[in-house]
Amino acid sequence: MAPSSKKPGNNGRIDANSNLGYIKSSYPGLQSSGQRGKPFPNIFDWLEVKKRDDNVGPYWRVHDKLYDLDEFIAKHPGGPDWLRYSKGMDITEAFESAHVIGGGKVNQILAKYYVKDVNFKRNSPFTFKEDGFYKTLKRRVEPVLKEIGTGFSPEILRLQDSLALGYVTFALLGVWSGSKLLQILAGILLGMCSIGGHNFLHKADNWRQYYFDLSPLSSFEFRLTHHMSHHMFPNTILDFEVQTAEPLIQWLPSPSKNFVQKYLAPIYFYGLYAIFTLTQLIGRIRSIVLGKQAVRPENFIIFVEFGIIFMLSETYWAGLTASLTIVMVGSFWFVFVGFAHHHPNSFHDGDEARPDPDFGLCQLDATHGKSDNFHKPLLSILTTFGQHPMHHLFPTVCHSKLEALKPIVHQVLAEFEEKLPLLSQFELFMGAQVQMGRSKPNAWRK
């Protein structure tokens, strides 16, 4: 089906529903995923609505051109899933942020699959002007990345493998001995290992991405929800991760927030985050039963872990409590230390947007780095979503290489009279409590 010449729109408003009310987006014309407020929101439904709104038929859109990449899916160096699940979508943000080096060669390959130009505006509000911040930054960092590479350093491989080994060791000892302390330590290591695994799933297919699946989370689904949604459209109505706890926790400012959402959410959110990864497992099972997604081999990893725990436990009750202890502690770590977006000073859809929404600057508007010394060592960066603004600028660059890019980032920011946003972990945590109850949009301030 060929794309129509007329772009559908909803006047920049999120779809109304009884839980969330009727909220005006910061970007006129930006479409909603239609998933907000629904229990167990499904990324595959999100993809279908995104494809409908992008309106490019059976092609891939990059800027204002359409490409037929069917023959290239199997050849894609990053693995086939990136293209297979983005067919029928505008992938401009993903294309620009993934290909930081070798742009000339990438564009030559892309040109082979050109179909035609399109004559309607993109659903996305973000810009990529050649003299803008993000394109300028990409040109400046390319020589450095060509020299040091974008891949994994030996140190970060050792750290990630050690975390996985530590988790398995403490989990086995904790279950075998019945020690809750060891089980809690295993849960912390599971949370650290899961966050570390996130560094690997942003890259081309590699076996270490499946460290992420040691938790009830899914590396495959996280690539879609996190990389293709959250990273491309942080804190907007297209950010799937903003939706996952709605309506119990509503991160976007809205005058329709009720008493519970404004004042009780900072209390019960602790419990929600302890069961977050379990809810994702339940949602996955539900999605498979409903036929929205197929079973993948890595989906069985968590059940193998549960099976081993039950076999090593003296009773079924001991096995159940050990499994829940490890998983819930890991879930709490995963979410609690990950605060980097939900501070009142961070942009959230509904706030007044910057006049020229350059993609790179909008990434910085929606996140904060962690300023305290604890988050400077590589182990901390790997296991606490550290260097977060840098990671959002260069999601496919290994965390171990981001520090080398900081001088260039600061230089380009200074040229554009901008700054890298930084707050302490405590400030981010306290800010998140305020953001949950924030109902009034922020005015734009540079």
Which residues make beta-bridge pairs with 62? 65
Long-range contacts made by residues 61-65, C-beta under 8 angstroms, separation at least 24? 61/89, 61/90, 61/91, 61/92, 61/118, 61/122, 62/90, 62/91, 62/92, 62/95, 62/110, 63/92, 63/122, 63/128, 64/117, 64/118, 64/122, 65/114, 65/115, 65/116, 65/117, 65/118
Q: What is the 3-state secondary structure (H, E, C) of 155-183?
A: HHHHHHHHHHHHHHHHHHHHHHHCCHHHH
Q: Specify the pLDDT at position 39.
A: 67
Q: Specify the pLDDT at position 24.
A: 77
pLDDT band at 5, cuts 50/70/90? very low
Name the amino acid, one letter, at 245. A
Which residues make beta-bridge pairs with 349? 351
Structure tokens at 328: 């819930």
Residue 257 vs residues 19, 31, 39, 204, 392: alpha-carbon distances, Å: 9, 21, 18, 41, 29
Using the predicted structure, report yes or no on whether residue 329 has a pLDDT greater than 50. yes
Report, as an integer, the average pLDDT of 28-51. Answer: 77
Using the predicted structure, report yes or no on whether residue 37 has a pLDDT greater than 80. no
Q: Specify the pLDDT at position 330.
A: 97
At 181, give phi and psi (nearest 5°). -60, -45
**Tally of CB atoms within 10 A around 344:** 17
- The pLDDT tens digits of the residues spanning 360-416 come to 999 999 999 988 888 889 999 999 988 999 999 999 999 999 999 999 999 999 999
Q: Specify the pLDDT at position 334.
A: 93
Percent residues over pLDDT 90 in the chain: 78
pLDDT band at 36, cuts 50/70/90? low
Q: Specify the pLDDT at position 364.
A: 97
Using the predicted structure, report yes or no on whether residue 309 has a pLDDT greater than 60. yes
Dist CA 182 CA 176 (whole Å): 10
Dist CA 65 CA 365 (whole Å): 28
pLDDT band at 30, cuts 50/70/90? confident
Name the amino acid, one letter, at 407. P
Dist CA 217 CA 241 (whole Å): 13
pLDDT band at 58, cuts 50/70/90? very high
Q: Specify the pLDDT at position 29.
A: 72
What is the model's pTM? 0.91
**Tally of CB atoms within 10 A around 297:** 8
Q: Specify the pLDDT at position 23.
A: 61
pLDDT band at 197, cuts 50/70/90? very high
Percent residues over pLDDT 70 in the chain: 92
Dist CA 69 CA 83 (whole Å): 8
Average pLDDT, the chain: 90
Using the predicted structure, report yes or no on whether residue 439 has a pLDDT greater than 60. yes
Q: What is the DSSP letter of 72?
A: G
- The pLDDT tens digits of the residues spanning 224-259 come to 999 999 999 999 999 999 888 888 899 999 888 999
Q: What is the DSSP letter of 85?
A: T
Report, as an integer, the average pLDDT of 271-299. Answer: 93
Report, as an integer, the average pLDDT of 306-312. Answer: 97
Q: Specify the pLDDT at position 278.
A: 95
pLDDT band at 1, cuts 50/70/90? very low
- The pLDDT tens digits of the residues spanning 345-373 come to 999 999 999 999 999 999 999 999 988 88
Q: Specify the pLDDT at position 14.
A: 39
Q: Specify the pLDDT at position 244.
A: 85
Using the predicted structure, report yes or no on whether residue 103 has a pLDDT greater than 70. yes
Task: Choose the weakest-confidence range: 70-84, 85-99, 361-375.
Answer: 361-375
Name the amino acid, one letter, at 342. H
- Extents of the domains making up the chain: 127-446
User: Residue 358 region, left (φ>0) first, then alpha (ψ -120 to 50), else beta?
Assistant: beta
Three-class SS of residue 245? coil
Using the predicted structure, report yes or no on whether residue 290 has a pLDDT greater than 70. yes
